[in-house]
Amino acid sequence: MKQQTIQKEVSLKGVGLHTGKEVTLTFKPAAVNHGFVFKRTDLENQPEVPAQANFVTHTQRGTTIENKGVEINTTEHVLSACVGLDLDNILIEIDASEPPIMDGSAKYFVEALEKAGIEEQDAERDVYEVKEVISYKDKATGSEIMIVPSQEYEITTMVDFGTKILGTQNASINKISEFKSEIADSRTFSFLHEIETLLDHGLIKGGDLNNAIVYVDKELSPETTEKLKKVFNKDSLSIKSNGILDNLTLHYPNEAARHKLLDVIGDLALIGTKIKGKVFATKPGHKVNTEFAKKMANHIKNERRNTIPQVDLHQEPLMDVNKIMKMLPHRQPFLLIDKIFELTDNHVIGSKSVTMNEDFFRGHFPGAPVMPGVLIVEAMAQTGGIFILSTVPDPENYLTYFMKIDGVKFKQKVVPGDVLVFKCELLSPIRRGICHMQGYAYANGKLCAEAELMAQIVKSK
C-alpha cells in the first residue's frame, strides 16, 4: 500500500468547545513520512506539534498534546477523520489551541478532507502487523484496551456508564473504510451532572445544545433549567422519552458507543503507525486510550529496533567494496563498510567484517580488542551516506558531512571476528541535501548500537 495525503488545502471555521474562541483549521497536503502534525499559526514562528503519544499531557474532557510548551487541545475528532479516510500525511494548521467542535462529531472534517481530494504518494506505507495480544488496563476504572492479530484494522467498543438512562452499548467496524458511513457523524455526549460541573469551572464556553447530546441522569430542577436556558440561549428545555435533553435527535440508538469508537480511532492515531490488528476497548476513555497508544508506540519501536535484518551475508552484494569506493570518498583505514545488500526508497542495509588487522585494534585495548563505539557510529553513518549519495546522479562530486547525532546507545561490544550489519531508515524526506535517518548496528544476532543521524551532502567540485 502507498502512503496518502490530500490534493489541496481546505479550511473550516468554528468555535473551540472549551475555549469558545473562533478558530480556523486548515488541512494541507504533506510529504511522505510526515505523519499528522499540528501547526499553531497564531503563535510566533508557527510552532509544530506532531500527533504522537509521547506528547500527551492530559486527557480531561479531550486529549491534549504539547511540544515545547505549545498545546493542542481536543485532538481526537480531527485525527479520527484523518485515519478514517485512510490518510498518512497531513499538516493541520490551526490559529488557536483547540480545533472547532463543529457538531461534536468528525463528519465535517471528513467532508472537508474529501473535498480536498485524496492523493496517492510515491512511498510505501508503514504498517505494523500485530503478532501477539497486547493490552492495557486501568485498574482504578476497569477500563481496558486489548489488540489481537487480524488482517484488517478492526475496532469494537463496549461501554457501560452504570446509569439507567444509558446502559451497556456496543459498536464495531470491521475495516477502516466503514468509518465514514458508520462512525463519522456520531456526536459527542455528556451527562447533565457533568454539564453543570463544566459550566461551574468555566469550561465548554463554545458548547451549545447543537454540538453535544445531553443525557439527563438527574432531576432537571427549575434552577438548573434556568441556568441551561441562559447559557445555551434557549427559550425552553424539556426531556424526551428516551432520557435526552430535547436539543438533538439520535442518529443511532448506540450513538454513544459509536462516538467512543470515534474517540478510540483518534487517540490511537497517536501511535504514529498504521495498525493491522483488532482492537477491543472496554469502557474506553481518553486516558486509557492514550496510555495504550504509548504502550503500542513503545512496543513497535522496541520490536523493530531488535529485529535483525534478514541478510544472507554470503550472497552476492548489491555493492562490493570497489563500488562503495566509487561512491564514498573514504579510504582505508577509514573506509568502515565492505558491502551493501539492500538500497530502497527508505532504507539501506550494509555490513562490515571486523578483523584483527584493523588499525584501531593496535591502540584500542590491544590485550582485549574492542571496536571503538564512535567508529561503529561512523560505519553506520557511511552506510547512510550510500543512501543519500544514491539520490544524486553524480555522487562522486559530493561529500557527506555530519550535522547532528542523537540518541546514541551502545548495547554490545564488537570484537575481531564479528560481522556488523547496519540498517539505516529514513525518518523524514530528504530536503536540500539533508538526510535524517535512524541507524542500527547488529552482530551475533544482537543489537550492538543505535543512533539518530542527520547529515548533508555538499558539492565538492
* Of the listed ranges 208-217, 312-321, 378-387, 441-450, the one predicted with least confidence: 208-217
334-389 pLDDT, tens per residue? 999 999 999 998 899 999 999 999 999 989 998 999 999 999 999 999 999 999 99
215 confidence band (pLDDT: 50, 70, 90): confident
SS3 string, the chain, reads CEEEEECCCEEEEEEECCCCCEEEEEEEECCCCCCEEEEECCCCCCCEEECCHHHEEECCCCCEEEECCEEECCCHHHHHHHHHCCCCCEEEEECCCCCECCCCCCHHHHHHHHHHCEEEEEEECCEEECCCCEEEEECCCCEEEEEECCCCEEEEEEEECCCCCCCEEEEEECCHHHHHHHCCCCCCEEEHHHHHHHHHCCCCCCCCCCCCEEECCCCCCHHHHHHHHHHCCCCCCCECCCCEECCCCCCCCCHHHHHHHHHHHHHHHHHCCEEEEEEEEECCCHHHHHHHHHHHHHHHHHHHHCCCCCCCCCCCCCECHHHHHHHCCCCCCCCCCCEEEEECCCEEEEEEECCCCCHHHHCCCCCCCCCCHHHHHHHHHHHHHHHHHCCCCCHHHEEEEEEEEEEEEECCCCCCCCEEEEEEEEEEEEECCEEEEEEEEEECCEEEEEEEEEEEEEECC
Query: Could you tell me if 365 and 435 lie in one domain?
Result: yes
Q: What percent of the chain has pLDDT over 70?
A: 94
442 inside domain? yes
What's the pLDDT at 203?
Answer: 55
Query: Could you tell me if 43 and 93 lie in one domain?
Result: yes
Query: Could you tell me if 74 and 153 lie in one domain?
Result: yes
Residue numbers of the domain that contains 375:
321-459
What's 420's domain CATH number? 3.10.129.10
What's the pLDDT at 199?
Answer: 63
The active-site residue, picked from 251, 286, 299, 314, is: 286
Query: Could you tell me if 368 and 417 lie in one domain?
Result: yes
Residue of higher predicted confidence among 197 and 122: 122
What's the pLDDT at 111?
Answer: 98
64 confidence band (pLDDT: 50, 70, 90): very high
Task: Say yes or no to pLDDT of 448 above 90.
Answer: yes
What's 299's domain CATH number? 3.30.230.20
417 inside domain? yes
Query: Could you tell me if 27 and 152 lie in one domain?
Result: yes
Look at residues 272, 305, 338 and tell me which one is the last residue of a structural domain.
305
**Whole-number average pLDDT of the chain:** 90
What's the pLDDT at 223?
Answer: 76
212 inside domain? no
What's the pLDDT at 288?
Answer: 97
286 annotated active-site: yes
Query: Could you tell me if 66 and 148 lie in one domain?
Result: yes
144-199 pLDDT, tens per residue? 999 999 999 999 999 987 777 777 899 999 999 999 999 999 998 877 777 767 66
152 inside domain? yes
What's the pLDDT at 235?
Answer: 75
* Of the listed ranges 93-97, 192-196, 353-357, 416-420, the one predicted with least confidence: 192-196
Query: Could you tell me if 351 and 285 lie in one domain?
Result: no
Task: Say yes or no to pLDDT of 208 above 60.
Answer: no
314 annotated active-site: no
Query: Could you tell me if 272 and 148 lie in one domain?
Result: yes
Query: Could you tell me if 41 and 177 lie in one domain?
Result: yes
123 inside domain? yes
4-62 pLDDT, tens per residue? 999 999 999 998 876 778 999 999 999 988 999 999 999 999 999 999 999 999 998 89
105 inside domain? yes
Task: Say yes or no to pLDDT of 205 above 60.
Answer: no
284-335 pLDDT, tens per residue? 999 999 999 999 999 998 888 888 888 898 999 999 999 999 999 999 899 9
The active-site residue, picked from 193, 299, 330, 364, is: 364
Domain count, the chain: 2
